[in-house]
Amino acid sequence: MGKGAQNYTGKSSQDSDQYPAWSKEIHECEQHYQVDIKLGLSDDEVKNRLQKYGTNELDKHEGQSILRLILDQFNDTLVRILLAAAVISFVLASYDGEETAFVEPLVIFLILVVNAIVGVWQESNAEKALEALKQIQSEQATVIRNGRKVSSLPAKELVPGDIVELRVGDKIPADMRVVSLISSTLRVEQGSLTGESEAVSKTTKPVGEESDIQGKKCMVFAGTTVVNGNCICLVTETGMNTEIGKVHSQIQEAAQNEEDTPLKKKLNEFGEVLTMLIGLICLLVWLINVKYFLTWDMVDGFPRNFQFSFEKCTYYFEIAVALAVAAIPEGLPAVITTCLALGTRKMAQKNALVRKLPSVETLGCTTVICSDKTGTLTTNQMAVAKLVAMGREPNAVRSFNVEGTSYNPYDGRIQDWPAGVMDANLQTIAKIAALANDAGIEKSEKGYVSTGMPTEAALKVLVEKMGLPTGLGSRSSTGDNDLMACSHEWSKIETRIATLEFDRDRKSMGVIVSSKSGRNSLLVKGAVENLLERSSHIQLLDGSVVELDNRVKTVILNSLNELSSSALRVLGFAYKEDPSEFTTYNGDEDHPAHNLLLDPANYSKIESNLVFAGLAGLRDPPRKEVRQAIEDCRAAGIQVIVITGDNKNTAEAICREIGVFGQHEDISSRSLTGQEFMEHHDQKGHLSYKGGLLFSRAEPRHKQEIVRLLKDLGEVVAMTGDGVNDAPALKLADIGIAMGIAGTEVAKEASDMVLADDNFSTIVAAVGEGRSIYNNMKAFIRYMISSNIGEVASIFLTAAIGIPEGLIPVQLLWVNLVTDGPPATALGFNPPDKYIMKKAPRRSDDSLISAWILIRYLVIGLYVGIATVGVFIIWYTHDSFFGINLSQDGHTLVTYSQLANWGQCKTWQNFTVSPFKAGDQIFDFDSNPCDYFQGGKVKAMTLSLSVLVAIEMFNSLNALSEDESLLTMPPWVNPWLLVAMSVSFGLHFIILYVPFLAQVFGIVPLSFNEWLLVLAVALPVILIDEILKFVGRLTNRSQPDRRPSKRKTE
Catalytic positions are 372
- For residues 1000 and 818, give the distance between their C-alpha atoms in angstroms, rounded to a whole number: 15
Give the residue ranges of DSSP H helices in 18-142: 26-33, 43-53, 66-72, 77-96, 103-124, 128-135
Say how far apart CA 896 and CA 910 lie, in whole Å: 18
Angle between helices 938-958 and 975-993 (to 10 degrees): 170
Paired with 448 in beta bridges are 443
Specify the DSSP class assigned to residue 405. S
| Residue 1027 three-state SS | helix
**b/e map of 305-330 (b: 16 or more CB within 10 Å)?**
eeeeeeeebebbbbbbbbbbbbbbbb
- Beta bridge partners of residue 572, listed in sequence order: 526, 615
- The closest of 408, 406, 411, 415 to 382, measured between CA atoms, is 406
The Cα 220–Cα 198 span in angstroms is 15
DSSP letter for 183, please: S
d(CA 543, CA 575): 12
> Any residues with CB less than 8 A from the CB of 297 and at least 6 apart, and which?
303, 304, 305
Max CA separation in the chain (angstroms): 134
- Cα separation, 29 vs 731, in Å, equals 36
Q: Dihedrals φ, ψ of 611, to 5°?
A: -110, 115
Identify whether the C-beta of residue 233 lies closer than 8 Å to the C-beta of residue 182: no
- Taking the alpha carbons at both ends of the chain, their separation in whole angstroms is 26
Residues whose CB is less than 8 angstroms from the CB of residue 124 and which lie 6 or more positions away in sequence, other chains included: 63, 66, 69
Q: Which helix (H) or strand (E) holds 616?
A: strand 610-619
The three-class DSSP label of residue 398 is strand
Say if strands 753-755 and 735-739 run parallel, antiparallel, or are unpaired. Answer: parallel
CB atoms within 10 A of CB 338: 17
Residues in the chain: 1050
Q: Give the span between the Cα atoms of 1025 and 963, in whole angstroms.
A: 10
d(CA 88, CA 266): 27
| Sign of the torsion angle spanned by Cα atoms 198, 199, 200, 201 | negative
> By the 8 A CB rule, do 388 and 563 touch?
yes
Of 688, 848, 831, the closest CA to residue 768 belongs to 831
The DSSP element (H or E) to which 546 belongs, if any, is strand 545-547
According to DSSP, residue 137 is labeled S
Q: Which residues pair with 720 in a beta bridge?
A: 737
- Which among 674, 611, 680, 607 is positioned nearest to 647, based on CA atoms? 674
Contact 613, 521 (CB under 8 A): no
d(CA 835, CA 831) in angstroms, rounded, equals 12
Query: Phi first, then psi: what are they for 386, rounded to 5°?
Result: -145, 135
3-class state of residue 477 by DSSP: helix
Looking at residue 378, what DSSP letter applies? B
Burial class of residue 259, CB neighbours in 10 A (0-12, 13-18, 19+): middle
* CA-atom Rg of the chain in angstroms: 39
951, 790 contact by CB (below 8 A): yes
